[in-house]
């Protein structure tokens, strides 16, 4: 296209954008005027569709989190595992922690999060600072180099680990739960259990086999799954409710696996009935 024609086209586009913008503004102004007019009549307004801005929601979340830092139940993320992870695992952990903190911040009754055993300027600290950027300094989380046993009474602490022989029965509001803050793609079984044993702490595992049709696979959940479960348990005390989203995630995963298997064997086998997916879903719920 010649440069003259290009200029002409871009001018036309700019003109069109301007007129659309002007029309949108005009419409918004008219709506505002109409709203103001309605308000003057003194009649009660229909507020069920009242829009709450994101900024207001953020302020509410912040307020709740600040409250939790004063009055809330502590929840510890034990950051003592930086020597057990490679770069990729550390990066995954950083992202899972961000997600966990996000779930907590948006909760109705958040935990007071403690990142214990976090070595200042250590690899873990650097990873989190990188993930969060400037927001790291404003994060409403207690960060300390101290161990949880130096911060809280030992008899209040419960270390959560999938390898514990003790099954968690109920959520205790006066206890302080600890989550081992690491992701191990090459699964290092028993690592958090041995940490807890060294410190002579009570350990518990989630009752996954009781509520989920889990099979024989590993029962290690991710950090964000852990905090979601604990937040729901704290609110409701209901295991079914707390594990509901895991069941859904599992179902989706199992369905995907099943579908990819089906694709692989499609050539050799007769067509599957459309009820295959439903069967997988039923499987997941059959222990309820």
Ligand X SMILES: C[S@@+](CC[C@H](N)C(=O)[O-])C[C@H]1O[C@@H](n2cnc3c(N)ncnc32)[C@H](O)[C@@H]1O
Q: Can you give the binding site for ligand X, defined by CB under 6 A?
A: 160-162, 179-180, 182-184, 187-192, 205-206, 208, 219-221, 223, 226
Shortest CB 25 distance to ligand X, Å? 51
Select 107 or 178, whichever has its Cβ closest to ligand X: 178
Contact assessment for residue 93 and residue 85, using Cβ atoms and an 8 Å cutoff: yes
- Residue 91 or 259 having the CB closest to ligand X: 91
In the complex, minimum distance from the CB of residue 141 to ligand X, in angstroms, rounded to a whole number:
17
CB 190, min distance to ligand X, A: 6
Tell me the closest approach of the beta carbon of residue 262 to ligand X, in angstroms.
30
- CA separation for the pair 125, 131 (Å, rounded): 10
Nearest distance, CB of residue 137 and ligand X, angstroms:
26
Q: How far is CA 48 from CA 44, 54, 55, 58, 152, in A?
A: 12, 17, 19, 20, 45
**Which residue bears the tokens 């991710």?**
222
Nearer to ligand X, 64 or 232 (CB): 232
Closer by beta carbon to ligand X, 65 or else 220: 220
Closer of 72 and 180 to ligand X (Cβ): 180
In angstroms, the CA 145 to CA 195 distance is 16
In b/e form, how buried is each residue of 71-107, taking b as 16+ CB within 10 angstroms? ebbbbbbbbbbbebbeeebbebbbbbbbbbbebbbeb
Residue with the CB atom nearest ligand X in the bound state: 180
């Amino acid at each position: 296209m010649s440069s003259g024609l290009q200029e002409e086209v871009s001018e036309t586009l700019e003109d069109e954008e301007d007129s659309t913008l002007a029309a949108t503004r005009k419409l918004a102004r008219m709506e505002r005027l109409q709203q103001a007019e309605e308000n003057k009549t003194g009649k009660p307004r229909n507020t069920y569709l009242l829009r709450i801005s994101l900024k207001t929601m953020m302020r509410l979340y912040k307020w709740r989190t600040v409250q939790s830092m004063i009055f809330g139940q502590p929840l510890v993320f034990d950051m003592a595992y930086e020597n057990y992870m490679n770069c990729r695992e550390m990066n995954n952990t950083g992202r899972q922690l961000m997600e966990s903190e996000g779930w907590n911040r948006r909760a109705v009754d958040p935990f007071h999060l403690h990142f214990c055993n976090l070595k200042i300027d250590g690899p873990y600290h650097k990873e989190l600072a990188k993930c969060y950027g400037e927001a790291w300094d404003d994060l409403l989380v207690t960060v300390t180099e101290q161990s949880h046993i130096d911060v809280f009474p030992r008899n209040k602490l419960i270390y959560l680990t999938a390898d514990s022989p003790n099954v968690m029965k109920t959520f205790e509001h006066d206890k302080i739960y600890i989550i081992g803050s690491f992701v191990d793609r090459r699964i290092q079984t028993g690592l958090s259990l041995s940490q807890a044993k060294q410190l002579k702490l009570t350990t518990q595992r989630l009752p996954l086999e009781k509520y989920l049709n889990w099979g024989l696979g590993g029962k290690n959940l991710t950090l964000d799954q852990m905090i979601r479960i604990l937040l729901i348990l704290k609110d409701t005390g209901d295991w079914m409710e707390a594990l509901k989203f895991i069941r859904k995630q599992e179902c989706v995963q199992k369905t995907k696996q099943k579908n990819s298997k089906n694709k692989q064997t499609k050539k050799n086998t007769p067509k599957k009935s459309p009820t295959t997916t439903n069967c997988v879903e039923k499987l997941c719920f059959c222990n309820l």
